[in-house]
Amino acid sequence: MSSPSRFERQARFAPLGDAGQARLEDARVLLVGCGALGGVLAQSLTRAGIGRLVLVDRDVVEVTNLPRQVLFEDRHAREGTPKVEAALESLERIGGPTRFETHALHLDADHLTTLAQGCDLVLDGTDNLATRYLINDYCVREGVPWIYGGVVGAGGLILAVRPGVGPCMRCVFPDPPPSGVLPTCDTAGVILPAVGAVASMQAGLAMRLLADPAKFEPALIELDVWHGDVRRIALPRAEACPCCGRREFPFLEAPAADTAVSLCGRNTVQVRARGQRPDLDRLTERLTSTAQDVNRAGPLLRFAADGFRMTVFPDGRALIEGTEDTERALAIYDRWIGS
């Protein structure tokens, strides 16, 4: 009698089967973001035996990540380990056939074009709107499926995009809202069960999409683990969609600009807004309960958070005092001011 194979139980699930399992083991997936959603996604796909997983994250592990970012431990936070490195350490301990590639960087259009090359699927594990619009542009242009996941509080949204077959993200959310308008995990909080539910839904859809793409039906799914609700919303493609309809890709084709510049000798980084101008009134209101020393001085908004002091200008430009690291400053900017 031969010993049971690693994926026996998984392949016994009839809709996947041995043929589907073989496709998973051949698949190449780009996972953008290795934090909350990304951690659960990376672990699920590694345990499922995905062939190759390309991991991208620009951030380092912090102690406030630990309640919901399942790949990280206290020591990673103490040492400020880059998330992709800490993730790799945890994922390699799982074993199995998956091969990993890690990139500690802020994903821009050039990186995305290079890293997504040859990928069968792109997974969104970010909490960043600008990055999602970039991914949507790329995936629609190249015909690569991708799965959006968003979580805040106890709820979340999942949108699986199959270019040409169902709606893309811009059919549903045509334009990014002004910075500071939407709640984020830093302002509204988040709990692990919501992260787990959203990422597991993404991972399940990812397995199905990779195993049997022809039968995949795109949909928008909304869930809430506090109230126990799951809603599947069938949405048509928007005829007038600038992205999948008119095939305009402004997020991908905008000229690369230095969005963050370290100001010499000042321990300060200047970050330029990449999306729309922030709504400073609403941002001030939102920060009052979560940041410190919030101060609206004429046109400027000043506040402190996470040990940094920030000054926001009406055009969305901001000075982040307390670091010379531009990647770090971009992460702080997106967290507190919005992207």
For the bound state, the minimum distance from the C-beta of residue 177 to Zn ion, rounded and expressed in Å, comes to 17
Q: Which is nearer to Zn ion, 236 or 255 (CB)?
A: 236
Nearest to 135 by CA among 276, 220, 29, 23: 29
Question: Between residues 168 and 320, which has the closer beta carbon with respect to Zn ion?
Answer: 168
Nearest distance from residue 38's CB to Zn ion, in Å? 24
Q: Which residues bind Zn ion (CB under 5 A)?
A: 168, 170-171, 241, 243-244
Closest approach, Cβ 238 to Zn ion, in A, equals: 6
Helix (H) or strand (E) holding 262: strand 260-263
* Least Cβ distance, residue 169 to Zn ion (angstroms): 7
What is the CB neighbour count within 10 angstroms for residue 234? 10
Nearest Cα to Cα of residue 217 among 230, 203, 205: 205
Kindly tell me which of 24 and 168 has the beta carbon lying closer to Zn ion: 168
Count the helices and strands in the chain (H runs, E runs).
Answer: 13, 14
Instruction: Name which of 172 and 332 has its Cβ closer to Zn ion.
Output: 172
- For Zn ion, the closer of residues 207 and 243 by Cβ is 243
Instruction: Report in angstroms how near the CB of residue 136 gets to Zn ion at its nearest.
Output: 8
Q: What are phi and psi of 98, to 5 degrees?
A: -65, 135
Spatial contact of 160 and 145, defined as CB atoms under 8 Å apart = yes
> Which residue, 238 or 300, is less far from Zn ion as judged by CB?
238
The beta-strand segments (E) located in 2-106 are 28-32, 52-56, 99-103
Cβ 249 to Zn ion shortest distance, Å: 11
Quick check: is 185 catalytic?
yes
Give the whole-angstrom CA distance, residue 331 versus residue 82.
Answer: 13
| Among 49, 50, 56, CA closest to 35 | 56
| Catalytic position from the list 119, 139, 168, 185 | 185
Q: What is the amino acid identity at position 121?
A: L
Structure tokens at 240: 């007038």
The interaxial angle of helices 36-48 and 83-94, nearest 10 deg, is: 30
N residues, the chain: 339
Query: H or E element: which one contains 192?
Result: helix 192-211
| Residue 69 token pair | 């970012």
Distance CA(223)–CA(54), nearest Å, equals 27
Q: Which residues are catalytic?
A: 185
